[in-house]
Each structure stands twice: as C-alpha cells, then as structure tokens.
Amino acid sequence: MTWLLPAGLLALLALPVLVILRLAGARRRAHTVGALMLWAEAAHGLPAGSGRRLPPWPLLLLELGACAALGLAVAHPAWVGESPALDVLVVVDRTASMAARGTDGSTAWERGLRALASAMAQHPSATRYTVRAVPPMPGGVLEGPRDAVLAVLRASEPDPDGSGDASDAVGGDFHRSLLVTDRIPSLPGTDRLEVIAAGEPRANLGIARAEVVRAAWSPVEPGNAPTPAVFAVVTNFTHADGDISLQLLRDGTELGRATMQVPAGRAAGVVIRATGGSLDGGVQVRIDHQGDALRSDDVVALERAPSRPLFVAWIGPESAALARAIGAATGRRVVIGDADGDGDGPDLTVCHRTVPQPIPAGPVLVVDPAASVPALHWVMAPNAGTARPSGPHAATFTRLELPARWPRATGYASEPVPRGGSAHATDAGGRPVVWSGTRLGGQPVGVVGFPPDGGWALTPGYPIFWARILGSLIDPGTASRTVERDPAESDLRNAVTADRAGGRSTPTPVAAAALASGRPWLALLAIALLAWRLRRKP
C-alpha cells in the first residue's frame, strides 16, 4: 500500500490534540459554592463518578478512530500490490514522425516502446491493457496482458503515410492511460494520464497564444484610461521548470514586461500591461528563458485587427499540420481550396510531392520529402557549409538530392531570396532540412526538401522554420516570428494558432492537473471536526 497524498498524513497530528483535550476535560475543576450543605446532602449515597451520561474513554476511542480514518482518507491510500483490477489504456502514436531517428540512431517508435515497457513494468502483473494506435494497426484494437501487448507492438512499425493526433484516442473508463507520442499532446498530464514522450528531449519554450486583452479585462487605474494589455500563454516543452520573462515591444521599444515560472511540460499564462504606451500599430511579444544563453526564445507579432484570410491552393496530399504551420507563421486564417478566395488568385500554392504543370501564378511552395520529382535538380557543393543551387537556372524548381552524409552546415535562411536564386541548408541533429528559394519575374518559389530516411518536419512543431519560408514567399521582409535558435533543434509548438488567426480565444489549461491532485474537501472536514471538538463545552 502507498499514499497518493502523503502530506495528508499530517492530519493524524490531530490525534494527540484530541487526547490532550480529553485529558484536560477529564481533570476535576474547582468551583466555589456558597455552602456545601445542599451539595453534600444531594451527593450523599451517590457512587463516585456517577452522573456522567457517557463513559469518557469509549467516546475518546470513537473520536480517535474517526479522526484517524479521516487522516488516512486525506492521505489517499492506494494499493499497488497484486491488484487484479487495473485496466490500462495504451495509446501509441504510429504517425510517420515516429519513424524519425534520433542522435542515437533509434527511432522515436523504438524509444517510445522502451519507455512504455518501463512504465508497464510498474503495473501489477495482472493488469490488462487495451492498445489503441493512431493511425490504427491492421489488427484493430489490441487487448491483452503486458508481454503479449509489447510483443505485438514491437513487431509493428509506424505508418509512413500516417497522420493524426494520438491525443484524440485517449478516453474511456480506464484506471490509467498511457500516451506514447513524439508530439506534445493536447491533453494535460494528470494522475490518470501519463504521457510518454518518445521525441528527443530538447529545451525550448514557445508562445502558444498571445492576444490583446479586451478592454473590460484591463486593469483600471483611478484617473487613467484602462491600460492596454496582452495576454500571453507560454508552453514549456523542456524537461525542467522554466523562469521566463516576457517583453511587450513596439518598434523595438519596450512597452511592458512580465515574468513567471512555467512548470515543465505545462503551459502558463500572464497578462503583460503596456504601461509604456498603446498597442496601436501592432506589437511583438518576446519571451526569454532565463536558463539558456539565448537573447530570446520566441517572438510573436500581434496585429490590432485580424487580416484577411490566406487563401492557399493545395496540390497533392493535403497536410493539416502544414496548414496549421502556415497559419501560425502568417498569423492569418488559412482557407484551403482550389478556388480563388477573392478572385485574385491564391495567396499561396502548396505543391505537396507533386510538381504542377504549368506553374501556378503567385507564390509557390514545393514540399518534397521523397525527393522523387524528376524535374528537381540539386548539386551540392562538396565541402561547403552553404549549398548553392546549380543546374538549369531557368527551371522553376531546384532538384534536391541529399547524400547519405550531409556536410554539416550552419546558418539559416533569414533573408529574402534574391533574384536568381540561392539556397541555404542546415543540419539539425542529423536531419537535414533544406530550403531553397528563387524568384522568376517577381514570383517567389520555394522548395523544401527532406531526406527520405529522415523525419518529417511538416508539423506545427516547426513554426519558426515555416515562418521564415512563408514570410519570404508571401510577405517578404515581414516574418512574424524570429528565433535565435535553429528551429530544428528546438521543440516549439503552437497549439492554438488557428484560433489566434481567427480572432477567437480558447481556455488555457493552466495548471489544471495541479488542482486535480488535492483533496481539499477532506481537509476542510477534518478542520471542521477539530473545530467542533474545540468548541464543545467542557
């Protein structure tokens, strides 16, 4: 047996208090009367000690028993022995990103299964597991004991075309749930849901949401107009608690500042008051994690009014993750479809694995994770830190060929691509990510390629990466996010960008699990019992 809330055992301190109270109450008190004549006559013939309605010690034992039971209940005892009653749900992420290899050569899937086996070893041997996979495994839902479940999972592999959010599969009447994923789940961790992070541990913080606080929420100071303020939610994807500071900037001038602590793996929100001026003209929110050497970890630009939607024409398999990344990067609501949004043509054409012929008008983004497009041609400078495109410059596209050993390069494309084309490459933890851009007659075209054996980066986990590219393609020179760190090394997430782009707000699950862990009503009951005991007439 163990205690889920050991601090609750402090309630047992009430036991000696009860004993002391009883001893104090049992002591004979002195009372002066005018004359003993009547009392002596009344007490004559009565046995000593008679007259009590209840014997004191059985009553004390009853009180001690009730108090001890209450204290033990507050401590929330739990039996973790060979209890046969545990039903555990295991949700495994089988999306393509789980096949990404880390620095140690193992995939996220393999790391996740190892962590899962360790977690399952803590359960009673009679525990029964129900396994749900996203996307589902060929055999459907898997049920069985630990060894059988692990054997089946080890024989499985991630789906190279799979996508989806494994968090959506969590639910049901189970004692506990285990979620194995390389993504930050949309569900907060609780005492009944354990998230097994299969991704590589990285350290960074990201602004999940930032919005201008409505006037009614602004602090009002006497004699002054309401101070404009910005509400920012920061998600800590590191493995340690982070002390962060947030700056509210307009044109490089600080309007306000706030600090807070964000627990590891959790999100926290804070209101930054713009005491230095108004928010007119748009502002930036910049966060800086005190624990690293970076000047800032993330920056979000806020506009006073939502801009028109971004109409994106999608050619090839549509990626919801990439669509969210585009929304996060541009700060605009993304409308995906073939038709023109407003008759002026799409704002962006995303070609996913497919090269359109002829080339659409307007900015074009080609995403080619397989490097299977014959028209693409890419020649790598053998020892250069920076790759340069070569081949038919007249061609619209640049072929991407990734050698087995990618030469390490530093830097990141941050400038608009000049006419004539250039390319920059980076090596992020063994996962090369290349972005190339060119302009032909003022039409920006970008190509993003990934090594065939590498992981996909087409997730909202790379908003800054996409912000760079999309900022150059759609609105050159006004990238909405900047970062001091290679985004591939970061683990930034932007969970509610679609809501931000649409001008809506969503509740932030800040420290929800912390509230769920306590049993405040039991503590209140114990205090009430003690207070009642103290108030009793001696």
Partner 1 sequence: MPDNASLTSPEFLRRLERLRLLLRRGSGGGPTGGRVTRTKGGVAEFESHREYQPGDDLRTVDWFAYARTGRLVVKEFARDEVVRLRVLLDGSASMGATPAKWRRAREIAAALCALALFTRAGTECFITRGGRMELLGAADAEPGLRPLLEKLDRCTTKGDPAPVAALNVARRGPWATALVSDLLDPADPRIALANPVKSGFGETMVVQILDAEEARPSIEGAYTLADSENGATLDCVVGPELRQRYLAALAALRERWSRAASAGGARFVAGTTGEPVEAIVARLIHPTAVRGGGAA
For partner 1, the closer of residues 38 and 141 by Cβ is 38
Work out whether 535 is an interface residue with partner 1 (CB under 8 A): no
Report the C-alpha gap between 473 and 348 in whole angstroms: 8
Contacting range for partner 1; rule: CB under 8 A; set: 32-40, 122-130, 191-199, 409-417 = 32-40
Work out whether 49 is an interface residue with partner 1 (CB under 8 A): yes
Contacting range for partner 1; rule: CB under 8 A; set: 21-29, 104-112, 127-135, 395-403 = 21-29
For partner 1, the closer of residues 41 and 173 by Cβ is 41
Q: Collect all residues with Cβ–Cβ distance below 8 Å to 233 and sequence separation of at least 6.
A: 207, 208, 209, 210, 267, 268, 269, 496, 508, 510
Residue pair 284/300 in contact by the 8 Å Cβ criterion: yes
Instruction: For the CB of residue 24, give the shortest distance to partner 1 in the complex, in Å.
Output: 11
Work out whether 264 is an interface residue with partner 1 (CB under 8 A): no
Work out whether 38 is an interface residue with partner 1 (CB under 8 A): yes
Contacting range for partner 1; rule: CB under 8 A; set: 45-53, 67-75, 326-334, 403-411 = 45-53
Work out whether 105 is an interface residue with partner 1 (CB under 8 A): no
Work out whether 34 is an interface residue with partner 1 (CB under 8 A): yes
Residue pair 513/226 in contact by the 8 Å Cβ criterion: no
Report the C-alpha gap between 515 and 521 in whole angstroms: 12
Q: Which class for 86: exposed (0-12), middle (13-18), buried (19 or more C-beta within 10 A)?
A: middle
Work out whether 41 is an interface residue with partner 1 (CB under 8 A): yes
For partner 1, the closer of residues 57 and 217 by Cβ is 57
Binding residue for partner 1, selected from 1, 24, 37, 216, defined by CB under 8 A: 37
For partner 1, the closer of residues 38 and 66 by Cβ is 38
DSSP summary character for residue 495: T
For partner 1, the closer of residues 50 and 224 by Cβ is 50
Contacting range for partner 1; rule: CB under 8 A; set: 37-45, 197-205, 251-259, 369-377 = 37-45
For partner 1, the closer of residues 24 and 515 by Cβ is 24
In the window 175-194, what residues touch partner 1 (CB under 8 A)? none
Work out whether 536 is an interface residue with partner 1 (CB under 8 A): no
Work out whether 24 is an interface residue with partner 1 (CB under 8 A): no
Report the C-alpha gap between 207 and 482 in whole angstroms: 12
Look-up of token digits 């080339």: 359
Report the C-alpha gap between 64 and 11 in whole angstroms: 12
Binding residue for partner 1, selected from 1, 28, 374, 441, defined by CB under 8 A: 28
For partner 1, the closer of residues 39 and 79 by Cβ is 39
Amino acid type, 136:
P
For partner 1, the closer of residues 42 and 531 by Cβ is 42
Binding residue for partner 1, selected from 4, 7, 17, 31, defined by CB under 8 A: 31
Instruction: For the CB of residue 29, give the shortest distance to partner 1 in the complex, in Å.
Output: 5
Binding residue for partner 1, selected from 24, 32, 122, 216, defined by CB under 8 A: 32
For partner 1, the closer of residues 32 and 224 by Cβ is 32
DSSP summary character for residue 246: E
Residue pair 255/279 in contact by the 8 Å Cβ criterion: yes
Instruction: For the CB of residue 68, give the shortest distance to partner 1 in the complex, in Å.
Output: 26
Work out whether 27 is an interface residue with partner 1 (CB under 8 A): yes
Work out whether 58 is an interface residue with partner 1 (CB under 8 A): no
For partner 1, the closer of residues 38 and 528 by Cβ is 38
Instruction: For the CB of residue 27, give the shortest distance to partner 1 in the complex, in Å.
Output: 8
Work out whether 52 is an interface residue with partner 1 (CB under 8 A): yes
Report the C-alpha gap between 323 and 93 in whole angstroms: 20
Residue pair 44/36 in contact by the 8 Å Cβ criterion: no
- Over the Cα atoms of the chain, what is R_g? 32
Instruction: For the CB of residue 30, give the shortest distance to partner 1 in the complex, in Å.
Output: 5
Instruction: For the CB of residue 64, give the shortest distance to partner 1 in the complex, in Å.
Output: 20
Binding residue for partner 1, selected from 2, 20, 39, 408, defined by CB under 8 A: 39
Instruction: For the CB of residue 50, give the shortest distance to partner 1 in the complex, in Å.
Output: 7
Sort residue 443 into left (φ over 0), alpha (ψ -120 to 50) or beta: beta
CA distances from 417 to 103, 323, 364 (A): 31, 22, 13
- For the chain, the residue count is 538
Give pairs for 191-199: CB < 8 Å, separation 24+.
Answer: 191/4, 191/513, 191/516, 191/517, 194/119, 195/265, 196/112, 196/115, 196/116, 196/119, 197/115, 198/93, 198/98, 198/108, 198/109, 198/111, 198/112, 198/115, 199/108, 199/491
Q: Collect all residues with Cβ–Cβ distance below 8 Å to 178 and sequence separation of at least 6.
A: 88, 89, 90, 91, 116, 119, 120, 193, 194, 196
DSSP string, 59-74: HHHHHHHHHHHHHHHH
Amino acid type, 59:
L
Work out whether 534 is an interface residue with partner 1 (CB under 8 A): no
Residue pair 474/348 in contact by the 8 Å Cβ criterion: yes
For partner 1, the closer of residues 1 and 40 by Cβ is 40
In the window 396-435, what residues touch partner 1 (CB under 8 A)? none
96 is written with which tokens?
Answer: 């393509």
Contacting range for partner 1; rule: CB under 8 A; set: 49-57, 285-293, 300-308, 518-526 = 49-57
Contacting range for partner 1; rule: CB under 8 A; set: 2-10, 36-44, 76-84, 109-117 = 36-44
Work out whether 26 is an interface residue with partner 1 (CB under 8 A): yes
Work out whether 305 is an interface residue with partner 1 (CB under 8 A): no
For partner 1, the closer of residues 295 and 537 by Cβ is 537
Contact positions vs partner 1 (CB under 8 A): 25-43, 46, 48-53, 537-538
